[in-house]
Amino acid sequence: MPYQLGILMVRHRWWVVGVWIVVFLLSLLVAPSAFSSLTGGFGRADTESRRALDLLESELGAERSTISLIFHHPDLTISDPKYERSVKEALSPVLERPDVVEVITPYDTPGKGFVSDDGHTSHTRIVLEGTIDEALDDYPEIRRKVSTPPGFDVWGTGGIAIISNLNRAAGDDLRRSETVTFPLVLIALTLVFGTLVAVGLPIAMAGISVSMTLAMVYLLAQVTDVSIFVLNIASFLGIGVAIDYTLLVINRFREELSVRSKEEAVGVTLATAGRSILFSGLTSVLGLSGLLLFPFMALRSMGIGGVSVILLSMMISMTLVPALLGILGHRVNAFSVTRILPAPKGVWRRLAWGVMKHPVLVALPLMAGLLLLGAPFLGANIGAPWASVLPSDDEARVGWEVAERELGPGELAPIVIVAEAPESIFSPSAIANLYDYTRSLEMKPGVRRVESIVSVDSDPALTMEQYQALYATPSRQLSPEHNRLLDELATDDITVINVFTDFPTLSEEDKAFLSELRSDPIGGGFKKMVTGVTADLVDANDTIYRYFPFVILYVLLTNYLVLMVLFRSVLLPLKAVLMNSMSIFASYGALVFIFQQGHLSGLLGFTSQGSLETTVPITLFCILFGLSMDYEVFLLSRVKEIYDETGNNTESVVLGLEKTGRIITSAALIIIIVAGAFATSEIIVVKAFGVGIVIAVFLDATVVRALLVPALMRIMGDWNWWAPAVIRRVLPKQRFVA
C-alpha cells in the first residue's frame, strides 16, 4: 500500500501540490487568530475546591474576579494625606470602566490585611464583573490605566495578574524560541544534506505543519475551551517532528534514487521510510493521546494540539513530500554547498561491530548508568508553584512576594471555607455553630485572623448572643465593613469563612493546615467544602496523579501492541518499551537533580523551588514516549528489512545501525535544537520541559539507540523476532521492501 501511494503521488504530483497549497493558504487566513481565541488557566475538574467555587458562583450571584494592587512608598504612610490622594488619583481611570463593580482601598474599610504594620504598604482590590476568562482579557488594559504616582512602587498581582502574565510570557517564549530555532535548524540541515534544495524542504514542511495546526486549534477553540499552552506544544512538535519525518523521507529517497528511477525511488521510500513514519507517528499519537485522559482543559488541549500536529506531519510526509520529490527528482541534490563537517565513513559500522563483540560489557554498565541517573527521581517532590512559576522580576510575582512579606503570608490567598447550613444561615443555632467554629479556628497555631459574618473587624467586641440578636432583626443597623462582608460572604443558605494564616501559600505547612481544616467538622448539621488557591492546586495535583498510573498503562500497552503488529514479535516490542521507559526515568532523575535540588541553576538561570512542577513529568512522559519510539522504529524497521532479506540477526543489526545511525542522530539533533530553545524560557515550567526533552532525546539517540539497543539485540539473538505461532497467524505480515 505505501509503495502504491508513492507511485500515485508522483503521477499526480501537480494536483497534490496544488491541493496542499490551497489548504495552506486557507490556514493562513485563520492561523493568526488562534492566539486570541485561546484560554488562560488550567481548567476545571470535579474536585472539592471546584465544587465549592461552583456553589459560590450559583449562590452569590454573578461571576466576579478580583485584581490586587500593592502600593508602596518608602517614606509616606497610609495616614498621610498625600499617600491617600496619590492612591485615589492612580485608581480614578479604572472607576470609569463599566465592568468594575467596586474598588476597595484601605480608606474604604478598616479591615485588617489591607495595610502593613509600618503603614508604608497597602492593598487595593478591584472587583470585576464577569468570568475569569473575561478578566484575563481585560487585565492588561486595566493595569495600564493604573498609573504609578511619583515615589511609589505599584504592583498588579493576584490570581488574574499571575495567569495573565504567565500567558504573556508563554507567548514571548514561543516567539523567541522560533526566532532562535529556525537559523540553528537551517545550519544543522545544511550539515546533514549539503544541498540547499534538500535543506529547504524540511523547513517548508515545518512551517506548513505549524500553520495548519494553528488553524485547526482556532477552529476547535470556537466550540470548546483550548489552553494557550497548546501553542508551545504545536510549535515544538510542528517544527521538530515535521522536519524529522521529512528528513527521513528525503534521506531514503536520495539513497534509492542512486539505483532506481524517480517513480520507483519514491515508491520504495514510502514502502520503507514511509511505513516507519506511519508506525512511529502512531506511537507518538498514542503517547500524546494519553493527555486526553486527564480531566483538565490545559492537558487535554496539549494532547489535542500534539495529536493534530503529528497527524498533519504524517500526512505531509506521506503525500506532499513525495509529490515534491517527484517534481524535483535528481534536482533534490541541486545547489550543493561545502560541507563543514564531512560525513564520517564507517563510524557507525565500526561502532556496531564493537558492540556486537562485547554486548554484555556494553549493556550492563549502560543500564546501571541510566538507573543511577534516574535515582534522584525516587526522592522527587511534586508540587504546584504559584507566583514563583514566573520570572523573578515579573511584576505579578514581585507584588505577590511583597504582599506576603509586608501584609502577611497568605494574605492574598486565604483558605476559603464554604459552609452550607441545614436551615437559614442567620438562624440562632446556625450563628451559634458558626461563632464557635470561627473561634476555634482563631485558636489554631498559625492562624492570623478569620474573616466571616460572625468575626467582623469593625465590631470586634460583639458576642455570640449579640450576633444572634443582630441577624434576627430585619432592620438591623450595620457598619459599612459589616455590610460589605455580608454582601460578599453570605446568602440565606451558605456563608464563606476566609482563614488567613502565617503560612506561605503552598508551603508544606499551608498544605498540612488545609488537610486539618478539611477533617474538622463545623457541627450543627453544617456541610462544608474548602477552596482557595492552595486547595485548588492541591486538588488538581492529587487528581492528576490519581489518573497518571492509568495513563502510563494505556501508553505502554498501546505502544506495545503497535510494535507487535509492526515487527511480528512479542519480545522486541517489550524491549523497546523498557528502553523507552529507562531513558525517560533517567531524564526524570536529571530534572530532580537540576530543578528540585537546584544544581546548574546559575547556568540555566532559574531559582529552585525545591520541587518539580506538577505537569512536567506528565507532559514529558506522553511526549517523550512517542518521540523516543520514533527512533526505535526508525532503527528497528531498517534492521527488520535487512533481517527479512538475510535471516542473520547480527548482520542485520550492524547494517541497520550503519544505515540509520547518522539520520537518527540528525533527527535527534533537530529535536534537541527545538527543545533547547524552550530551555531558554523565563517560565521555569517551560524551561524544565525543554531541558527534560533535551536530556531524554540525547540519551535516547546516543546511549540507548546506538549502544544499548544493539547490545541487547545481540544478546537476544533470533529471540528478537520470536512470537508464538498463534500470534503470528493473527498478525498481518509486514513487508518492508517493494
Per-residue pLDDT tens over the stretch 234-289 = 888 888 888 889 988 988 898 888 888 889 999 999 998 888 899 999 999 999 99
| pLDDT greater than 80 at residue 45 | no
User: How many other CB atoms are there within 10 angstroms of residue 119's CB atom?
Assistant: 15
Whether this model's pTM surpasses 0.85: yes
pLDDT-derived band at 737 (thresholds 50, 70, 90) equals very low
User: What region, left, alpha or beta, does residue 151 occupy, with left being phi > 0 and alpha being psi -120 to 50 degrees?
Assistant: left
What does the DSSP assignment read for 194-243?
-BHHHHHHHHHHHHHHHHHHHHHHHHHHTTS--BTTHHHHHHHHHHHHHH
**Residue 326 grid cell:** 517527484
Task: Write down all domains in the chain, each with its CATH number in brackets.
Answer: 1-37+194-342 (1.20.1640.10), 59-163 (3.30.70.1430), 414-531 (3.30.70)
pLDDT in tens, 544-602: 999 999 999 999 999 999 999 888 889 999 999 999 999 999 999 999 999 999 998 88
Give the residue from 148, 134, 57 showing the smallest Cα distance to 98.
Answer: 134
Give the residue from 274, 204, 298 showing the smallest Cα distance to 619.
Answer: 298
**Residue 577 grid cell:** 518499551
- In percent, the amount of the chain with pLDDT more than 70 equals 95
- The burial class, CB within 10 Å (0-12 / 13-18 / 19+), for 732 is exposed
DSSP assigned state of 42: -
pLDDT in tens, 328-369: 888 877 766 655 445 555 788 888 899 999 999 999 999 999
Name residue 115's beta-bridge partners. Answer: 122
Q: How far is CA 417 from the centre of its chain?
A: 30
pLDDT in tens, 518-536: 999 998 889 999 999 899 9
Strands lying side by side in the sheet with 64-72: 100-104, 121-129, 64-72, 153-157
pLDDT in tens, 456-483: 766 667 888 888 888 887 666 777 777 7
The answer to whether 215 touches 26, Cβ cutoff 8 Å, is yes
